Amino acid sequence: MRNFLVILSLLAVAGCENASIGTKTCPAADLQHLIGAPQGALDPVGYDPTRIAGPDDVVTMDYNPQRLDVRVDAGGRIVSITCG
């Protein structure tokens, strides 16, 4: 019984820590002016998490509303900026 209570308390603490993750807001709407710019234009943004994918890159289909997703073309220019 004691082990069960210890495990239950650890799960409760882990749940509280994960709840704070949702407070970040993905800045994609504010970065639309960077479409057409070179990928290096994102460097000053410094947002985490950011996923940058090229035209032939394989990416997971998981959805993370806090993640900044950036697609670049073969020349390294930004094609789209979204959240997810």
Per-position pLDDT tens, the chain of length 84: 555 444 444 444 344 333 344 567 999 999 999 999 999 999 888 899 999 999 999 999 999 999 999 999 999 999 999 999
Angstrom CA distances, 60 to 25, 33, 53, 84, stand at 21, 26, 11, 11
Task: Using alpha carbons, list the distances in angstroms from residue 14 to 8, 17, 19, 52, 74.
Answer: 10, 5, 9, 29, 41
Which architecture characterizes domain 25-83 according to CATH?
A: 2-Layer Sandwich (3.30)
Helices (H) and strands (E) in the chain, counts: 1, 3
- pTM across the whole model: 0.69
**CB contact at 8 A, 81 and 35:** yes
